[in-house]
């Protein structure tokens, strides 16, 4: 049995390739639609399920993993920035306060008729970000294609004062939670 990651995220791919698993990467083509009536946790889990479900239809004998990470600031979901101005405004809104990073996880094994959907939540506190610091960070280009406009595993680490919870969740895949689910429900150990 292969493990299929239903994601185009280079960060998730890199994290999973560190482990001794037979990994196949297939990007889900589903269009992300967010129901504004749902809570952030429901949205993250729903998007993870939709990604995994779409890919699982082509991999009936394999285990498919879907994930979706969102950044939540005072109840407002911060997606990937449209442009540099949007990224600047997101980072300015996160300055000197805490926000949440939520990753929905879905694992589907159609051969066993088993679907597990869960989530991980991490609290991230930013230090005060001056306009100059935000502009310097944006000049790196690292913010592009990142929920919340930053990458904690890169130069964005200088923006973060502290985190409470799972670090790999903020990167985009909560490895400890994933390992627990794989072990508990699928008898797979990634180490």
Residue in 112, 156, 3 with CA at minimum distance from that of residue 12: 3
133-142 residue pLDDT tens: 999 999 999 9
The residues spanned by each domain of the chain are 3-186
Residue 30 DSSP code = P
DSSP codes, 97-137: SEEEEEEEEEEEEGGGTEEEEEEEEEEEEE----HHHHHHH
- What is the rounded average pLDDT of the residues 8-33? 85
29: pLDDT strictly greater than 90: no
pLDDT for the residue numbered 98: 98
Are 54 and 7 in contact, with CB atoms under 8 Å apart?
A: no
Least confident of 24-28, 47-51, 157-161: 24-28
| Residue 58 in tokens | 């082509």
User: Which segments of 9-84 are extended strands (E)?
Assistant: 23-25, 63-73, 76-78
CA torsion angle 28 47 58 170 (round to 10): 60
Residues 6+ apart with CB under 8 A from 8: 25, 27, 28
pLDDT computed for residue 64 by the predictor: 97
Mean pLDDT of 13-20: 90
Residue numbers annotated as active site: 68
Residue 35 has pLDDT above 70, yes or no: no
Give me the chain's average pLDDT, please: 94
Provide the pLDDT for residue 34. Answer: 67
What separation, in Å, do the N-terminal and C-terminal C-alpha atoms of the chain show?
17
Q: Which residues pair with 77 in a beta bridge?
A: 72
- Model confidence pLDDT, tens digit, residues 80-134: 999 999 999 999 999 999 999 999 999 999 999 999 999 999 999 999 999 999 9
Tokens of 87: 């990224």
List the Cα angle 38/186/101 in 5-degree steps. 35
Which one has a higher pLDDT value, 66 or 190?
66
Q: Find the mean pLDDT for residues 58-69.
A: 95
Residue 149 scores a pLDDT above 90: yes
The topology under which CATH files domain 3-186 is Maf protein (3.90.950)
- pTM for the full predicted model: 0.93
Distance of alpha carbon 165 from alpha carbon 121, whole angstroms: 7
């Amino acid at each position: 049995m292969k493990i299929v990651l239903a994601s185009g995220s280079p960060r998730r791919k890199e994290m999973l390739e560190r482990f001794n698993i037979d990994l196949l990467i297939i990007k889900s083509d589903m269009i992300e639609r967010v129901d504004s009536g749902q809570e952030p946790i429901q949205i993250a889990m729903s998007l993870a399920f939709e990604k995994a479900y779409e890919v699982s239809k082509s991999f009936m004998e394999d285990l498919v993993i879907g994930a979706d990470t969102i950044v939540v600031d005072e109840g407002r979901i911060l997606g990937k920035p449209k442009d540099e101005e949007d990224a600047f405004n997101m980072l300015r809104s996160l300055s000197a306060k805490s926000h949440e990073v939520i990753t929905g996880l879905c694992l589907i094994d159609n051969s066993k008729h088993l679907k597990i959907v869960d989530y991980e939540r991490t609290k991230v506190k930013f230090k005060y970000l001056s306009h100059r610091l935000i502009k310097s960070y944006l000049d790196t280009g690292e913010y592009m294609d990142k929920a919340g406009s930053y990458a904690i595993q890169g130069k964005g680490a200088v923006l973060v004062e502290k985190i409470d919870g799972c670090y790999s969740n903020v990167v985009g895949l909560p490895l400890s939670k994933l390992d627990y689910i794989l072990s508990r429900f699928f008898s797979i150990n990634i180490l």
